[in-house]
Structure 1
């Protein structure tokens, strides 16, 4: 649970805590444990990024990854040819994809990324021959690789 993570930090050096008030309703507390005094104070924090210390996060299963674990990994083909470094992880709800420093996007599926070596900080990529998009791009889209 979010309470188990401990303090969150923002890019300005602020420290924050989150506590659940009720299912689906969280309270953001400052470093002294005080709730925000009013709506105006909360509005000033819109889009503020909060960060947790990696070591405070629960361990993942073998085939689970935090985005931060994938960032900076070297992407290579099964032949050993380098493709570049993972610079972004995208997840818009239709599946996760990895963006390399070249701008190349790799679907983060077992078919396209069959091997991840955390210790070597590298992942093996099998490039899809083609990516097929079904449907109207303004509505429901199905992608097959």
Structure 2
């Protein structure tokens, strides 16, 4: 997938028999997905969405300039797990201290002293907060929580992130903001970090 495109959503299982489908949106709020207009699949097909309920959308494929609605369950089943993208240029610049997760992939990871640790090869977010996967030469990859404590500096323009790999991660309660990273590299710090869709 070219870095010039950003994943904004995934079509899920059908909803009913009239062509509706569940759609997982990565935008904030999720309903903002339809505001991006035409969404592209990896194979080049183009789609538009119209929300019909919470997380459920009517899907229309754009073929040779003509709108072709997904009309039944069978057609919706063929779209399950279809990933929807937009060109990166259509996204607004993120606010200060916010980052598009896709922009973090490929950045060099260095420790607080500036020594190379590896490269950010993936960003995982399963709902409990994002984590960076860092590929290290001559060592197994490491997952680091994308928090201010573990990643105190993010410099996309400079092509790097500063990573203080924690010795342990302590979760005091169910609040994701309560996560603290203890490290020999320095005192615990606020663990929250913003991220754009």
**1:60-79 map, 5 Å:** 60-79=94-113
Name the counterpart of 2:41.
Answer: 10
Give the structure with the larger strand fraction: 2
Please say if 1:25 is aligned against 2:74.
Answer: no
Out of 19-28 and 69-78, give the one that drifted further: 19-28
In structure 2, the CA distance between the partners of 1:143 and 1:4, relative to structure 1 (3 Å rule), is closer
Q: Gaps spanning 5+ residues in structure 1: where?
A: 136-141
Out of 16-25 and 28-37, give the one that drifted further: 16-25
Superposed CA RMSD in Å reads 2.5
Distance in 1 (CA, whole Å) between partners of 2:146 and 2:80 is 30
Name the counterpart of 2:149.
Answer: 111
SS in 2 for 1:34: strand
**1:1-145 map, 5 Å:** 1-22=32-53, 24-31=55-62, 32-102=66-136, 103-132=141-170, 144-145=180-181
SS in 2 for 1:61: coil
SS in 1 for 2:67: coil
Distance in 1 (CA, whole Å) between partners of 2:90 and 2:51 is 18
Distance in 2 (CA, whole Å) between partners of 1:143 and 1:24 is 29
Give the Å deviation of 1:35. 1.5
Q: Which has the higher contact order (CA 8 A, sep 6+)?
A: 2
In structure 2, the CA distance between the partners of 1:9 and 1:88, relative to structure 1 (3 Å rule), is same
Give the Å deviation of 1:58. 3.1
| Aligned 8 A contact 2:38 2:46 in 1 | yes
Return the TM-score normalized by structure 1: 0.84
Distance in 2 (CA, whole Å) between partners of 1:24 and 1:94 is 19
Q: Gaps spanning 5+ residues in structure 2: where?
A: 1-31, 182-197
Distance in 2 (CA, whole Å) between partners of 1:95 and 1:24 is 21
